Amino acid sequence: MFGDLFEEDYSSVSNNQYGKGKKLKAKPLEPPAPREFTNLSGLRNQGGTCYLNSLLQTLHFTPEFREALFSLGPEELGSLEDKDKPDAKVRIIPLQLQRLFAQLLLLDQGAASTADLTGSFGWTSNEEMRQHDVQELNRILFSALETSLVGTSGHDLINRLYHGTVVNQIVCKECKNISEKQEDFLDLTVAVKNVSGLEDALWNMYVEEEVFDCDNLYHCGTCDQLVKATKSAKLRKLPPFLTVSLLRFNFDFVKCERYKETSCYTFPLQINLKPFCEQSELNDLDYVYDLFSVIIHKGGCYGGHYHVYIKDVDHLGNWQFQEPDMNLKALQNEEDIDDPLTILKAVLLQEENNLIPVDQLGQKLLKKIGISWNKKYKKQHGPLRKFLQLHSQTFLLSPDGSTVSLQKQPSPQTESDFQGNGQQILQMLAAKSPGSNDNTTRPHWFDINDSKVQPIKEKDIEQQFQGKESAYMLFYRKSQLQRPPEARANPRYGVPCHLLEEMDEANMELHMKRTECDSANNNIELHLHMGPHYHFFNGALHPVSCQTESVWDLTFDKRKTLGDLQQSIFQLLEFWEGDMVLSVAKHVPAGLHIYQTLDGDELTLCEVGIADGEDIFVWNGVEVGGVRIPVGVHCEPLLLRVLHLETGSDGKRRGQLVESPHVFPASAEVGTVLTALAIPEGVILTRSGRSAGEESWTPVPQEDMRRTFREHGLKDGSSVLVRDSYSDDSSLLPQGGKWITGTNEIDWLEVKNLCQLESEEKQVKISATVNTVVFDIRIKAIEELKLMKELVENSCLRPIDRNGKLLCPVPDSSTLKEAEVKLRSSLGLCLGKAPTSSQLFLLFALGSDIQPGTEMEVIVEETLSVRDCLKIMLEKSGLPGDAWHLRKMDWCYEAGEPLCEEDATLKELMICSGDTLLLIEGKLPSPGFLKVPIWWHQPQGPSGRWESEDQPHGSPAQGGSWRAASTQGVPGHVPAEVSLLYLGDIDIAEDATLVDLKSQARSLPPASKLAVPGPALLRAWTVENKRPGRLLRADRRELKEYKLGRTAAICLEPLQREERLGPLDVLLRTQMRVPGQRAYAPAVDLVWDTARGSSAGALRQTVADSYALPVEKTEIAKYFPEKFEWLPISSWNQQITKKKKKKKQDNLQGAPYYLKDGDTIGVKNLLVDDDEDFSTIRDDIGKEKLKQMALGKRHSREALQAQNSDIFSSTGTPTRPRGPEASLSIHVGSFR
């Protein structure tokens, strides 16, 4: 996914002593590339947004969704131009989505950007680089759209297209009474594990019935007794578009890690859902759905990549499957393919208007016949451009020679030449022209992989049934949904006029930029080396004088020919006489060397292969300064380091070894080194390698002295050692060493002694293979650890993960392969027997806040009921009473759904060995009911200060048996302290209204001792983090509409008078800062009408009016109680003069304030208090306490790691902790 994200593009420059000081040519910023042959646009990946791109393409190719979004005009959504205005209500997310869809339809670019859309989500660059789950995004994006479209004609867009219902029924066998519960869904989540395919999963969910009989009877409310019954579920209402999420990610509690289910899972291209639905009068065709999108995940559970297969319902794309042209390749051995005239005509007939750039014609030919023009035709017919010029009766070259087309009226002779087999080739190629296929009425499929779009065939979908790259989400549409004829192949259909105009203007701008960029990109810079200013010395060319005279820089169009370049150089060099030859030269350590002479005046620089920054040597092609110049790779000069004994003034060689540089042609014999040093006879040694700082020299045999330097593998900078004679004296040679490589290790397992018994050995290595039985390993480990033989009957082996945690015991009868134990891993020898095949090894813990290492272990029979399992765990935990229930820990280590069916067996509920169960206090409510804890919001004391934590939370009740909850605060005067008194729990139906809940809460015994007013004078909040969270409005709404969940708690706050909050009102708590003190006055409720503006200035004006203060002397700040921090709310950006550019006006309900109901606003009167600080003494103490808590947690983690390190110090497996998974969110403004 992150392929070339951080690669930089460096220009190629000559690395030599003469090229210093040259400036790199700045590459122009290229506009986005146009669309490819598919005529469809992809989406650019921002680093980790492949999951977003796949979902957005699916929504874009859902024309009903796209057009419903387009139908919402600026009068309902606002305008993006007004998004910075403080009083404007701009629904940014749907507007940006409209704009993105318009770009995908109409903008001529290969890939569109999602940066503006993710910006409207409130995402930062960190969020765009982080991978997330596409199923999670689907739900969050739909929720954000629903919120954004509140109050518009598209408020029901999501429900209208994707909403369905499922009904769960229990039928009593005695009285035939039917108890049913209806559930809504926007997508169906189906199992993958142990299921063969989608239809099999739906059959298990909506056809098979669960029977209550024998020991598992159902209590019928009508019969008022335990009876036999059946439980089933059916699809009641089907949406027009059905989204199916596949549960491919699971958690292995044995290995304590997540894994991806890669088994085969089939799904049909068309599915009939009638067997899974309630009986109705609908036509059978209403149940038929067609697959139109498959989101595919490639990789594992901790990362990977998404792409999507899409069916082009509206035929917007050009489906031309890019298979090799087998028809042409099959004719390569025939005479027909030998006629280049026929082949070139066939290629041109495939192009639009029979026109193509000459540069691309050769590439097209290579793709069609599998062989280039130079290899196939150049020897007989010459260069391609020359061939086109010679056949002017067939081909028409543009005046500048850049493009070629077919003549409009070919001569009769040409027509007759093209008959026969040539015509057959033409027909085969023309049959594959864009837009033509075997079935033009049937939509085709495309693979959209971020910015890449490719056509695929329907049969390719079957490849995504299984494996690491497999289907993850399926999207079906009703077969009866028909598209209007005018929408076919018409990307402008349904697009609003203002977006059509915007896209047309953008396309014109793109065209102009591409034209300018094309001209700039075709200019290359050449470095011309003038032959008369060079001389040949020491095997290479060197400038006679300064560089400015010998090297000239020339900018030239690479589309022009070599002849044009020569003509331009002639015009520049007025002094030149005689022939002019251009050759490609390169700088080597020895100097400048000529490699290739350029010929073919009619060839373009691009065809010749001249690159930007190329060095061109200008000379007569024979000699420079009277010296004949060697040309080519074979005579490339090599600069070698020659080591030899120093020669004294008397001609004798001394013992000191010296190094001198020498240049030799690569094609010269190695023996020429002796000639260059004037040594008649000697030994030449080459360095064969270097290892660990030691050198190894190899002598060149006498028979190899006539071999060339290149044949010996010598390169620039290679070292050569020369000795005077063939003596055996090796005093000059460095001492060499021998290295032994390759060890033959056998596979093993490491077993650690964790039995708490003394032993001479702490761990031993046991030889093993994948087929070794676990029992044999355990017995051998007991023997080698020299432990008591009694352990044979009372011990087991448990795998140790990379963090040092003990996993589920391994059965003795299994092989290592069956038990999925990896070789060279660690096992712990522990006390206790391993579970049998009919037993389960379970972990359990108290509460949902699980600390590592606090889980307890138990072995139970898999036929044990949930009720009996709960009793065993309570006894082992030493917990009294029966007011407890069990929950299964989910894959993200949180309390999952409760085990409601207490009479069901663990096997029936698919509890497996290694699973973790949580003991949660409290009995479960009956189906259809909620058990809601009720808290009383403690009002402020008469002093106007919040009650101190070291004082008892006052109440009129005697005995003080209520529980008081407060935030993590400290004593002092601070708005962070919120006192809540526990009143009790109430059982209430999900269909009850909020006023029913208030009335029932007033009947609780503790409430009778409080002056609890009537329901109209009670304000209800959810409890989040031990403080009021979300304000519940509209007393007549049913509780299920608030989506409280099973763990929700409610706190009630008394009011002095009834309040009627409007949909755009925000309830804030304002507190005036006491001048001269770091404290605040009592909180006062303030209703802020955001319909009049949600900017900082609008809130400042409202606060100033409430306290009767001048707005310019009022300072406000939002309080963040979790951090004990105040964030000032500044609005000076509204006081910008008209001459300056207006700054962005922030909506306070967005980043970084996210103002909502219940937030505390500090108010400062600048007339009497000019202190810039908003904090209090309690904030200072609170921050220090948070700092100490964080430090304590860190020390605890370090101590736990140290403890694990002490116990498993020699596991040999490095720990690699994974970072916490960040939650995905989309910030949406309030449009109530």
The residues that are catalytic are 50, 305
> 50-60 vs 134-148: helix axis angle to the nearest 10?
60
3-state secondary structure of 205: helix
The β-bridge relationship of strands 856-861 and 839-846 is: antiparallel
The gap from C-alpha 857 to its chain's centroid, in whole angstroms, comes to: 38
Whole-angstrom distance, CA of residue 364 vs CA of residue 373:
10
Between vectors from CA 568 to CA 564 and to CA 569, what angle results, nearest 5°?
120
Per the listing, tokens 């090894």 go with 841
Beta bridge partners of 12: none
Contact by Cβ (8 Å): 751, 829: yes
Whole-angstrom distance, CA of residue 935 vs CA of residue 1020:
10
Structural element, H or E, at residue 1009: none
> 63-70 vs 50-60: helix axis angle to the nearest 10?
80
Residue 102, number of CB atoms within 10 A of its CB: 23
551-557 sheet: strands from edge to edge? 534-537, 540-543, 591-597, 581-588, 615-619, 523-530, 551-557
Contact by Cβ (8 Å): 509, 120: no
Whole-angstrom distance, CA of residue 990 vs CA of residue 994:
10
State the burial class of residue 778 (Cβ atoms within 10 Å of its Cβ: 0-12, 13-18, 19+).
buried
**DSSP notation for 994-1006:** HHHHHHHHHTSHH
Whole-angstrom distance, CA of residue 979 vs CA of residue 967:
8
Taking CA atoms, 327 is separated from 324, 336, 960, in Å, by 9, 12, 92
Between vectors from CA 35 to CA 33 and to CA 41, what angle results, nearest 5°?
105
Name residue 529's amino acid: H
Contact by Cβ (8 Å): 53, 81: no
Instruction: Say whether the peptide bond before residue 1152 is cis (omega within 30 degrees of 0).
Output: yes
State the burial class of residue 41 (Cβ atoms within 10 Å of its Cβ: 0-12, 13-18, 19+).
buried
Whole-angstrom distance, CA of residue 558 vs CA of residue 582:
15
Classify the phi-psi angles of 169: left when phi > 0, otherwise alpha if psi is within -120 to 50, otherwise beta. beta
DSSP class of residue 713 equals T
For the chain, the 3-state helix, strand and coil shares in percent, each to the nearest 5, are 25, 30, 45
Name residue 1167's amino acid: L
DSSP class of residue 809 equals P
Contact by Cβ (8 Å): 261, 282: no
Whole-angstrom distance, CA of residue 361 vs CA of residue 398:
14
DSSP class of residue 478 equals E
3-state secondary structure 384-403: HHHHHHHCCCCEEECCCCCE
